Copies of this chain bind each other. A is one copy, B any other.
Amino acid sequence: MSQGPGKAKRGIPSKSENFNEWYPFMVEAAELVDKRYPIKGMDVWRPYGWKTMKLIDALTHAEMERTHHEEVNFPLLIPENLLEKENALVARLKKAREEGVDPDDLRDEEEEGGFKKEVYWVKHAGDNELDIPMFLRPTSETAMYTMFPLWIRSHKDLPLKVYQMVNTFRYETKQTRSFIRVREIHFFEAHTAHADEDSASQQIEQDLEIVDNLMHQLCLPVIKAKRPVWDTFPGAWYTIGIDAVMPNGRTLQVASCHHYRDQWAKAFDISYENLEAEQQHCHQTTYGMSERLLGAVVGMHGDENGLIMPPAVAPFQVVICPMIRKNSDVDTVAVAEEMATKLRRHGLRVKVDARDIRAGQKYYDWEIKGVPLRLDVGPRDIAQGTAFAARRTGGKEPVSMDDLPNACMTILDEISDELRLRSSAHMNDVLQPLPAFTEIDGNWTMEGEVEDGKIYQIPFDGTDAHAEAIERATGMTFLGDSTESYESNMPCHMSGNMTRRRVLLAKTY
């Protein structure tokens, strides 16, 4: 394997003209993954991709530690009978919703539902058929909530806040895409149990704050929307989806939070002794993210020449390219190594590219990989006490060797800001008002067309029938109610009722 940069030759598909070719080309050209593994939708993570993912994970670990979540690690395999508990719960909630009754008034029903059709099954081991089939976790609610009753006894054990980073599996039948839709998923899941609904609601607030912190580091603006009922996670009271917007205007759900109230706790008998010495069911939440975060980083920040890594997660934040001149008195490589040592001492991640190849080839390689800052050093630079800084976001300038670490850190901060500016500009650009709808005899017609690559927002306080009419006319999906509602009342796009609800519509991945 080439230890250094990619082997890709010129001929990168144009990102602006053909994002759908650029993306799959780039994840391999930048050596993030190798898609040639003989199972579709299961890529091999190569060192550069895995390092980036682990840097994203490190940000998450830090947020988990700050918010006092503890890391656990659950078995991958889940016995079938636990899934049946979940299915019964989901079926009951669905029925209650359809019949408009309190779910507590219904009993669990046997029904094929939930994840059952999307999981990989283990029914054999060695030469044996197993007594109880097991499946590869698509997510760990059922595994964890089987253990929670053993860990929670009294209010002193609450809140219980655990998380894990593990591989999960979905039997995807749709087209797979690296990081975006894969069959083995590098997954993060936090699960919490609380004494009451309020405390669980506060957890959701904290989750959204964590999302904000992470997205700031990844330089990605996101949409946070309370999903419509029909798109709520099975067993949840409500779901908040967090969507990044890709260059083609499609949204990519990169995270989600679920407030379960006490529905799961009732199904799995998770209760505690409250201060009045009574058994009371817990309220629970889940917060999930995945390698899609990397998919969003790749998709949003890259340009015609390759990736652009946000400095917070760039495996190499700085690459130093010493000019290799034979017959020169000046040992540029030694100077480059000294510079690297100095920068590393300040916590920067630095690579020295001392390969004896054309400078143009080096630049090309590191551009594809998206290293945010390149420092060129030749004999003349050294004589002048400077290095030549080239930002991956554009712009070149000499920097003084005297204050190199601070200069680099300042430039990296400016690069982060530039990435934030660009992605926010893109978000503003794609967010559009929806053409008006008119009703004749109960049929709704849209007065105009929706544009490809755009996301639409409307004040909305209509019925499910209104929503359906919009989805049918636009071919788009309701992302739900933005957590940032309108500042003052607006007339609903369909019913005209005054509302502050800001609903978003998009084509989704």
Chain A contact residues, CB within 8 Å of chain B: 1-3, 34, 36-39, 42-47, 50-51, 54, 70-77, 79, 82, 116-128, 134, 136, 143, 146-147, 150-152, 156-157, 160, 162, 166-167, 169, 171, 173, 184, 186
Contacts and interface: CB of A to CB of B under 8 A. Distances in A.
Contacts of A45: 72-74
A125 B171 contact: yes
**Secondary structure type dominating chain A contacts:** mixed
Contacts of A1: 70, 151-152, 157, 160, 162
B120 A122 contact: yes
A267 to B, nearest CB: 16
Contacts of A42: 75, 77
Nearest to A167: B76
B79 A38 contact: yes
A184 to B, nearest CB: 5
A85 to B, nearest CB: 12
28 contacts: A1-B70, A1-B157, A1-B160, A2-B151, A2-B156, A2-B157, A34-B147, A38-B82, A42-B77, A45-B73, A46-B72, A47-B72, A47-B162, A51-B71, A76-B169, A76-B184, A77-B120, A116-B126, A117-B126, A117-B127, A120-B122, A120-B124, A121-B125, A122-B122, A123-B123, A126-B173, A128-B171, A167-B167
A221 B119 CA distance: 44
A37 B124 contact: no
A469 B295 CA distance: 61
Contacts of A126: 116-119, 171, 173
B36 A150 contact: yes
A75 B184 contact: yes
Given A1-B70, A2-B157, A45-B74, 6 more contacts: A34-B150, A39-B79, A45-B73, A77-B120, A117-B127, A120-B124
A82 to B, nearest CB: 7
Contacts of A50: 71-73
A122 to B, nearest CB: 5
Contacts of A74: 37, 44-45
Contact of A70 (B47, B72, B121, B151): B47
Contacts of A120: 77, 122, 124-125
A122 B123 CA distance: 7
Residue with the greatest number of chain B CB neighbours at <10 A, chosen from A119, A125, A162: A125
A150 B31 CA distance: 13
Contact of A134 (B39, B147, B152): B39
A151 B44 CA distance: 12
Contacts of A75: 37, 39, 42-44, 184
Given A36-B150, A37-B147, A124-B120, A71 B47 contact: yes
- List the 6 closest pairs (A to B, CB-CB), nearest first: A1-B151, A45-B73, A47-B70, A42-B75, A125-B171, A121-B124
A264 to B, nearest CB: 17
A444 to B, nearest CB: 36
A123 B125 contact: no
